[in-house]
Structure 1
Amino acid sequence: MHRIVYILLFFALVSCSTGRIASTSGTKPSETIVFGKLSIDSTRPLDNKKILMHFNDRLWGKHSVWLDESGYFYTKLPLGSNFLALIEYRDNIGFYKNLPENYISINLPAADKIYYIGDITIDWTPVNLTDTRRNGGVAGVLAEAEKKGEYLPVSIENSERTINFFHQKFPDNTKEVLTELVRIDE
């Protein structure tokens, strides 16, 4: 039985992608595209390409996206209410921070639009061993995913630079881009 679990985990890890979109076409009627920029205000230098954002769940990573080298993200999310559930910094140790459900959230009502959700800055320095998974194996991952999460200082800005980046990245885009910044519920 353990072999089957390990084989499934291996294939899941090998098949993981960046979560970033390659084009703005091809979305399903139940999803839309969001983009923005994430910055982690840290006391130590961080490599943006090692930062992973999980939306809506912490466990499966169905809606997760890796930042690019400049901290930008662009991905598909389901229509309706979405929230940032987890941030990971995957260096040699692997740090993560669970965020409370709906702490940083967004409502996405239309599939034919693209949403700029803001430049998000989170104050977090991934150095504490309390920000690592203490339990190993599948049971440990399940236990860690059930934690409520921690409120971190966060700020949201509206940046023309990020919107311009998106237009340069996707020059063939024909969908309307709307600014709909994430909400912070404290």
Structure 2
Amino acid sequence: MAPIARRLGLYAIPLLASLSLPVWAAGPVGLGYLKMGMSKSAIEQGDSSGAIKLLGPLQELKLPTKATVADDYYTTQAVLPFSPDPVKLSLGFKGESLSVINIQLPDEAMENKIRAELEGKYGPPKLDDGRKDEQCIYRNGNSFTLKSGVMSVGWTDEETSTTTALNLVHFQSCPSSLSGDMVRTRPSRSLSIQRRPAPAKASGLF
């Protein structure tokens, strides 16, 4: 399969070269030098290969609720091998260890390229389609159906409890009339890599 990366200065790196792969993996367990378990200070030292370039300091990201996969989140702009234009990079930490990598994708074309690379390496993903159908019905008999919600395709490496997913979030609702504008949000696309926390050990002798 031909590399999908675009040239970054002297670098022309295929996507899968930037994804950290364990032997016999069922999915990536990192992105380039960003590997699960790294500390924030190690990440801020930068990528010695120059493949991933952080364009600013990691800024703390306040979330309304705590997530189970991470205690603290930080965000910055970054240039990646498969995106020569800056993208939003968010990192989550469980304790002092990196547990979440999230990248906002600019368009469907990049999502499709990443999916093709991942399918070529790991096979078909698992589909999780949480979108709901909404029937738009009007008094003149016209009708059509909208889909709203979240759809994801993902690969899970059980050995490392790491899940990689391509996510699409898109909400829309019926216009009040056929001549009216549809209420919709702009589709949001992302690539996420998450490591689930280890389950708590049962107390007692066994």
TM-score by length of structure 2 reads 0.25
Give 1 or 2 for the bigger CA radius of gyration.
2
Pick 1 or 2: higher relative contact order, CA cutoff 8 A, min separation 6.
Answer: 1
Q: Report the TM-score when normalising by structure 1.
A: 0.26
Higher fraction of helix: 1
Structure with greater proportional strand content = 2
